[in-house]
């Protein structure tokens, strides 16, 4: 992609109204645009990141047998009345000119449960799980922290269905593992803790995945022995205690909830009377689990975690581009060489953002740091005279001078590291 053609612009000034790091850097870098509080447009750069995160999630959820579907965002009042959740305040409601009311989905149990009931009649069809990556709407009383808590946001929700509790438990653990694989791939695993949280009214605990960050809204207590945490919301009489080993010496931290998993059991299958016939021809209620994760929140979390004074430092796995090719100066020779390299990289299917703008070196470097692509290749009169380029990693100081013929090899090597990571 030629940067001269890229839709979106970087902003030099610090934005007065945004205090959160992710909002500041994503807006300034031209990744997102704010339409109103908690509602964002994803510009080309930001959408590339979001898509990459979503694809990582897809791959890992597919791996545990989840089948991707897409349910409507616009939902009928009837089903929400059945579960008694029509009146919950996070529900956004829309009304037509003729007075008919609809809900905008903030979760999809009210759609997926009747859907499953319609197609599944026999124990032979179990277990199964379906998921979607879709836009959710929540009437947050206060949207905040950039894309970390929006009123409209991207969400992956997976729902699993089972004939018995053991099977649900097994899948629940599988989902847990899949979640950690996802965190590993977006580079936040070492800061993410499985956290015991409120189970609502139908089970003792649920589990959240909490990623340490001062931008987080949750307070958790970490047990370093068990490598798990407990959410402050379920701490009784001010005395946090590890739910696994009863250790009372826990570390208090702020964290962002980057995922949650719930054993819904029969809460919704009962409401919608979703029964199947077992081996003995007897009707039984199906059991359910649900597993949520917000790609857009994940994106915000990564920005909160990986940045410096100059901008974002994207992990390779979700960077909008792998290479930022920058040419400096206005000498014909350097431009020609940069164009040649750009074409070569494209031929190799390397994701490259090419800063072909007629801007000063300072502007280009500043923008490059702000956007935060992992590898920067500088082509200038200076490098061309030595038949080389300068390669700098965004997450390291210093750079290396590399012969032009070696570029593709180095980048391919760099990209492979991503796949291993």
Partner RNA sequence: CGGGGCGUGGCGUAACGGCUAACGCACUUGGUUUGGGACCAAGGGACUCCGGGUUCGAAUCCCGGCGCCCCGACCA
Residue 22 interacting with RNA (CB under 7 A): no
Residue 65 interacting with RNA (CB under 7 A): no
- Tokens at residue 29, please? 């870098």
Site stretch for RNA (CB under 7 A), options 52-60, 65-73, 193-201, 404-412: 193-201
Residue 144 interacting with RNA (CB under 7 A): yes
Size of the site for RNA (CB under 7 A): 66
Q: Which is nearer to RNA, 117 or 136 (CB)?
A: 136
Residue 140 interacting with RNA (CB under 7 A): yes
Question: Rounded to an integer, what distance in angstroms lies between the CA atom of residue 371 and that of residue 29?
Answer: 5
Q: Which is nearer to RNA, 60 or 390 (CB)?
A: 390
* Cβ contact 83:110 at 8 Å: yes
| Burial label, 363 (beta-carbon count in 10 A; 0-12, 13-18, 19+) | middle
Given 4, 15, 124, 204, the residue binding RNA (CB under 7 A): 15
Tally the residues of the chain. 421
Site stretch for RNA (CB under 7 A), options 42-50, 127-135, 139-147, 404-412: 139-147
Question: Rounded to an integer, what distance in angstroms lies between the CA atom of residue 129 and that of residue 116?
Answer: 10
Q: Which is nearer to RNA, 87 or 201 (CB)?
A: 201
Residue 390 interacting with RNA (CB under 7 A): yes
At closest approach, how far in Å is the CB of 420 from RNA? Answer: 28
Helix (H) or strand (E) holding 38: none
At closest approach, how far in Å is the CB of 373 from RNA? Answer: 13
Question: Rounded to an integer, what distance in angstroms lies between the CA atom of residue 55 and that of residue 49?
Answer: 10
Site for RNA in 24-63 (CB under 7 A): 28, 34, 36-38
Site stretch for RNA (CB under 7 A), options 18-26, 50-58, 152-160, 164-172: 18-26
Given 1, 2, 8, 18, the residue binding RNA (CB under 7 A): 18
Site for RNA in 74-133 (CB under 7 A): 89-90, 106-107, 109
Q: Which is nearer to RNA, 76 or 247 (CB)?
A: 76
Residue 267 interacting with RNA (CB under 7 A): yes
* Cβ contact 352:338 at 8 Å: no
Q: Which is nearer to RNA, 17 or 283 (CB)?
A: 17
- DSSP code at position 127: S
Helix (H) or strand (E) holding 91: none
Q: Which is nearer to RNA, 195 or 383 (CB)?
A: 383
- Tokens at residue 121, please? 């009649």
Residue 141 interacting with RNA (CB under 7 A): yes
Residue 332 interacting with RNA (CB under 7 A): no
Question: Rounded to an integer, what distance in angstroms lies between the CA atom of residue 118 and that of residue 151?
Answer: 31
Q: How far is CA 387 from the centre of its chain?
A: 41
| DSSP of 314-378 | --GGG-S-SEEEEE-S--HHHHHHHHHHHHHHHHTT--EEEE-----HHHHHHHHHHHT-SEEEE
Residue 369 interacting with RNA (CB under 7 A): yes
53-58 long-range Cβ contacts below 8 angstroms, 24+ apart: 53/186, 53/295, 53/298, 53/299, 53/318, 54/133, 54/154, 54/156, 54/295, 56/182, 56/185, 56/186, 56/317, 56/318, 57/133, 57/156, 57/182, 57/293, 57/295, 58/133
At closest approach, how far in Å is the CB of 1 from RNA? Answer: 17
Q: Which is nearer to RNA, 215 or 352 (CB)?
A: 215
Q: Which residues here bind RNA, judged by CB under 7 A?
A: 9-20, 23, 28, 34, 36-38, 89-90, 106-107, 109, 140-145, 149, 198-202, 206, 217-218, 260, 262, 264, 267, 310, 328-330, 358-363, 365-370, 378, 380-383, 390, 392, 399
């Amino acid at each position: 992609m030629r940067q001269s053609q890229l839709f979106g612009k970087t902003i030099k000034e610090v934005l007065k109204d945004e205090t959160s790091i992710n909002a500041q850097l994503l807006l300034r870098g031209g990744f997102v645009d704010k339409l109103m509080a908690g509602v964002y447009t994803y510009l080309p750069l930001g959408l590339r990141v979001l898509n990459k995160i979503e694809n990582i999630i897809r791959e890992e959820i597919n791996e545990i047998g989840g089948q991707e579907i897409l349910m409507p965002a616009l939902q009928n009042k009837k089903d929400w009345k059945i579960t008694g959740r029509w009146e919950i305040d996070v529900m956004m409601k829309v009304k037509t000119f003729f007075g008919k009311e609809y809900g905008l989905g903030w979760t999809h149990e009210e759609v997926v449960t009747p859907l499953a009931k319609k197609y599944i009649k026999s124990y032979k069809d179990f277990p199964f799980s379906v998921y979607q990556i879709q836009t959710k709407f929540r009437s947050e009383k206060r949207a905040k922290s950039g894309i970390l808590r929006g009123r409209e946001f991207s969400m992956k929700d997976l729902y699993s269905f089972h004939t018995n509790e053991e099977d649900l438990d097994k899948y629940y653990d599988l989902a847990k593992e899949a979640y950690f694989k996802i965190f590993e791939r977006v580079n936040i695993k070492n800061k993410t803790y499985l956290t015991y949280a409120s189970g609502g009214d139908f089970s003792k605990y649920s589990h959240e995945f909490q990623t340490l960050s001062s931008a987080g809204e949750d307070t958790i207590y970490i047990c370093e022995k068990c490598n798990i945490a407990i959410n402050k919301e379920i701490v009784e009489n001010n005395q946090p205690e590890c739910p696994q080993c009863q250790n009372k010496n826990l570390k208090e931290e702020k964290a962002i909830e980057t995922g949650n998993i719930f054993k819904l059991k029969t809460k919704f299958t009962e409401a919608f009377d979703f029964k199947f016939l077992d081996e003995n021809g007897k009707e039984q209620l199906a059991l359910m689990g649900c597993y949520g994760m917000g790609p857009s929140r994940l994106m915000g979390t990564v920005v909160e975690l990986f940045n410096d004074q100059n901008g974002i430092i994207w992990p390779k796995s979700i960077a909008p581009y792998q290479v930022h090719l920058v040419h400096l100066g206005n000498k014909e020779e350097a431009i020609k060489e940069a164009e040649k390299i750009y074409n070569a990289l494209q031929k190799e299917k390397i994701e490259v953002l090419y800063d072909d703008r007629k801007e000063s070196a300072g502007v280009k470097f500043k923008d490059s740091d702000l956007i935060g692509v992992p590898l920067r290749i500088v082509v200038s009169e200076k490098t061309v005279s030595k038949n080389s380029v300068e390669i700098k990693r965004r997450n390291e100081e210093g750079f290396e001078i590399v012969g032009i013929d070696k570029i593709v090899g180095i980048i391919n090597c760099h990209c492979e590291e991503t796949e291993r990571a």
